[in-house]
């Protein structure tokens, strides 16, 4: 019961930290944070996971090991109230787990649950799902430990189940720390999505080839794309205008220097317009692209 109490306190504190992260991550770009606050949820999730490790895993495991090494005579207590509390917790946590799973199922799409947990861009929903799943499992383990201690008239099963619950909390903390650390360190987008974006860029009529391609997850559903490309030279030239200018130069009507300067200026404007049109097309095709940086190689 003490292990599950610590577990519940850790979960409650964790949900508060997740809520703080969600609120802060919704803030838009500022002068100090030009890319927005999307990574804030990953930072607070990481803090939350660290708390689960030290409080949930550390305290619970210590209590279980201490009880195991210092077994006291079984007192044969009345288990009515503990069982009612655990039964109520099972119902509540089971319902929350069902709601969390429905939310994750929508977000993960065609990905397997394991792949979504490993590579997804929203560890907040993953944290809620795993915590609720572990909460339901923890309640079951606590009931088993209490029942076995009653049947065997010894505190040994109770101590062992406390250690198991603590170990599971440690595993949960490790999974969440890894997921959030990956995103805080600038994880790239899903390889399949990257390949789709590359194919779209390569197939665009103005692009000759892609020389550099990078993506970074800025938050759930928010990506940053940085690409260096080479444009087709013909795409940047107004051939009809150049032919007219050449004819006027041959006839002596125009000085070649101003004409060449004007041609160069048109190419720069055409290049800028082409990049703007390409970025707009990319955002239409891939709405998750929040920031696009295309440079000419």
The structural domains of the chain, with segments of one domain joined by +, span 2-184, 191-296
pLDDT value at residue 195: 92
Pairing of strands 207-219, 289-296: unpaired
pLDDT at res. 3: 67
Q: Is 0.85 topped by the overall pTM?
A: no
Query: What is the C-alpha separation between 232 and 203, in angstroms, rounded?
Result: 12
The pLDDT, as a whole number, for residue 214 is: 92
Rounded to the nearest 5 percent, the helix, strand and coil shares of the chain are: 70, 10, 20
Q: Cα angle at 131 between 66 and 13, to 5 degrees?
A: 75
- For residue 67, what pLDDT is reported? 83
Q: Which helix (H) or strand (E) holds 30?
A: none
What whole-number distance in Å separates Cα of residue 29 and Cα of residue 36?
4
Nearest to 122 by CA among 17, 62, 193, 45: 45
- Per-residue pLDDT 10s for the chain (297 aa) are 666 677 677 777 777 877 787 787 777 777 777 777 777 788 888 888 888 888 778 888 888 888 888 888 888 777 888 888 888 888 888 888 888 888 888 877 777 878 877 777 887 888 888 888 888 888 888 888 888 888 888 888 888 888 898 888 888 888 888 888 888 888 888 888 899 999 998 888 888 889 999 999 888 888 899 999 888 766 667 677 777 777 777 777 667 777 777 777 777 777 788 888 888 989 999 999 988 998 887
Answer CATH for 191-296 from 3.30.1380.10, 3.30.70.1350, 3.30.70.2740, 1.10.3720.10: 3.30.70.1350
Residues 56, 64 contacting (CB under 8 angstroms): no
pLDDT at 7: 66
Residue indicated by tokens 């595993």: 171
Number of neighbouring beta carbons within 10 Å of residue 133: 18
Domain 2-184 matching CATH 1.20.1510: the answer reads yes
């Amino acid at each position: 019961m003490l292990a599950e109490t610590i577990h519940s306190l850790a979960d409650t504190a964790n949900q508060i930290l997740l809520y703080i992260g969600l609120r802060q991550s919704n803030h838009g770009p500022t002068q100090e944070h030009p890319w927005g606050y999307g990574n804030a949820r990953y930072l607070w999730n990481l803090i939350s996971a660290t708390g689960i490790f030290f409080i949930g895993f550390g305290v619970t495991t210590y209590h279980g090991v201490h009880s195991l090494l210092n077994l006291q005579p079984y007192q044969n207590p009345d288990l009515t109230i503990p069982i009612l509390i655990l039964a109520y917790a099972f119902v509540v946590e089971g319902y929350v787990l069902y709601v969390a799973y429905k939310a994750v199922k929508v977000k993960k799409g065609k990905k397997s649950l394991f792949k979504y947990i490993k590579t997804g861009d929203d560890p907040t929903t993953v944290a809620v799902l795993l915590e609720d799943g572990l909460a339901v499992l923890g309640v079951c383990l606590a009931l088993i430990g209490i029942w076995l201690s009653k049947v065997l008239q010894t505190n040994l099963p109770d101590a062992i189940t406390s250690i198991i619950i603590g170990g599971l909390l440690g595993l949960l903390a490790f999974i969440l720390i890894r997921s959030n650390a990956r995103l805080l360190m600038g994880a790239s987008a899903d390889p399949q999505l990257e390949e789709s974006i590359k194919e779209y860029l390569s197939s665009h009529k103005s692009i000759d080839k892609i020389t550099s391609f990078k993506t970074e997850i800025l938050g759930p559903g928010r990506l940053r794309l940085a690409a260096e490309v080479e444009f087709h030279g013909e795409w940047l030239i107004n051939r009809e205008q150049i032919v007219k200018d050449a004819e006027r130069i041959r006839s002596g009507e125009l000085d070649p220097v101003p004409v060449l300067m004007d041609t160069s200026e048109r190419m720069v404007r055409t290049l800028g317009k082409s990049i703007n049109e390409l970025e707009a097309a990319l955002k239409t095709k891939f709405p998750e692209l929040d920031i696009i940086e295309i440079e000419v190689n």
